[in-house]
Structure 1
Amino acid sequence: MNKKTVKDFFDNLAKDWDTFVKPDSAVIEKILDYADIRNGCSVLDVACGTGILFPYYLKRNPLSVTAVDLSEKMCAAAQKKCTDKRIHIICADILDTKTAFDKAERCLVFNAFPHFGNAKNAVQALCRRLVPGGILTVAHSESRESINKRHKERAFSVSEPLPPAADLADIFSKHTEIIHAFEDESLYIVSGRI
């Protein structure tokens, strides 16, 4: 998958993103519970977009949140929402091994994993961003079927199909101890501890 195409796609959507993406607070809180985001932990928010998760993280009093996105315009929109010094926004390709980041205790990819291309490479690269005992979570706030249908219609050039949770858990299991792996009509979660 071409990174520039993905970047340009999301740069073009950034201005209006918050008008058509409405978070479901109850589902997000559930996801953060599954990801074990809690008081005093360091969080890596991968593909942070416009910072939708920032207020939810802050309610849990993290030590720090490093929010990373490939899209400069998504990062700029997120920066406008960022008033807390614990949140640091970086415009970068998280999968680029040459890009240095402090390792985190929790890494969450929320509603973005299909845009990473090769799932095996993505999981391996994300695990390298965690401290020993850290938890990687890939989560979506809707069903896999719904995500794949929408991407096939509107974002086929910048996404890969989201695999069944069990298949992604198999990839995770090469690098982590699986904690959660399930999907239903409103949630998709795979998480593992390194």
Structure 2
Amino acid sequence: MSEDRAFVQEFFTARAADWDSKFPADGPAFEAAVAELGLSAGDRVLDAGCGTGRALPPLRAAVGPSGVVVGVDLTPAMLQAALRAGRQAAGRLLLADVSALPVASGAFDAVFAAGLVAHLPQPAENLRELRRVVRPGGVLALFHPLGRAALAARQGRQITQDDLREEPRLRALLAGAGWRMTSYTDEDARFLALAVRDG
């Protein structure tokens, strides 16, 4: 189920101050997901919907001092939490909407997106915009530190038919946006779908 921009901002603004303290054990899952991107020293990577910037330190470690790390988020309060945590040392933080990113086409080698896809207001269009900013052959990682069933259980709900992260649906959604899914993992400890930008 997609959500509109105002709802997303309201939801995350209310939770930004204690977001990291609510999920203190997620660090290793972020590090493992970043490792699967296959980044090299000097690569340029975008953290789309970066929230409090938990992925920025492992992304910086992967690309080294010569690489570029940029985190974008729609919610000022989440970026402020990232600043309070000192994560701007690992990458540049930008207030921006993934539906219209203020970066050049082909600017990045990879996009990392943690917990983003379920909050996209127009998933097909938004995934096309992420494609625009990645070079041909670049990689997209759609990640969550919990799998679909574990996340649904934590939220006290059932997985529904409209779950964008269900494998055939996500594969088709990505293909329609110019991405080719290369791997899909949905287990209690994590959700990770990797895709390559076609053409």
TM-score by length of 2: 0.82
Percentage identity across paired residues of the two chains: 21
Number of aligned positions between the proteins: 185
CA distance in 2, matches of 1:25, 1:6: 23
Structure 1 contact 44–67 (Cα < 8 Å) conserved: yes
> Secondary structure of the equivalent of 2:146?
coil
Measured after TM superposition, the shift of residue 44 of structure 1 is 0.4
Structure 1 contact 41–64 (Cα < 8 Å) conserved: yes
Structure 1 contact 169–190 (Cα < 8 Å) conserved: no
Which of the numbers 180, 183, 186 marks the counterpart of 1:180?
A: 183
1:120 aligns to what? Answer: 124
Residues 1:51 and 1:23: Cα distance change in structure 2 (over 3 Å):
farther
Residues 1:54 and 1:44: Cα distance change in structure 2 (over 3 Å):
same
CA distance in 1, matches of 2:59, 2:7: 29
Q: How does 1:29-40 map to 2 (within 5 A)?
A: 29-40=31-42
1:104 aligns to what? Answer: 108
Measured after TM superposition, the shift of residue 18 of structure 1 is 1.4
Cα displacement string for residues 127-156 of structure 1 (whole angstroms, at most 9, x for unaligned residues)? 112112211111111111222344566xxx
Q: Which moved more, 1:131-140 or 1:68-77?
A: 131-140
Structure 1 contact 110–138 (Cα < 8 Å) conserved: yes
Q: How does 1:143-154 map to 2 (within 5 A)?
A: 143-151=147-155
Please tell me the root mean square deviation across aligned C-alpha atoms, in Å.
Answer: 2.1
Structure 2 unaligned residues grouped into runs of 5+: none
CA distance in 1, matches of 2:188, 2:14: 29
Structure 1 contact 42–65 (Cα < 8 Å) conserved: yes
Q: How does 1:72-87 map to 2 (within 5 A)?
A: 72-80=76-84, 81-84=86-89, 87=91
Structure 1 contact 148–161 (Cα < 8 Å) conserved: no
Give the letter aligned to residue 122 of structure 1.
N
Measured after TM superposition, the shift of residue 190 of structure 1 is 1.4
1:191 aligns to what? Answer: 194
Structure 1 unaligned residues grouped into runs of 5+: 154-159
Measured after TM superposition, the shift of residue 89 of structure 1 is 0.6
Give the letter aligned to residue 40 of structure 1.
G
Structure 1 contact 181–190 (Cα < 8 Å) conserved: yes
TM-score by length of 1: 0.84
CA distance in 2, matches of 1:185, 1:171: 23
1:67 aligns to what? Answer: 71
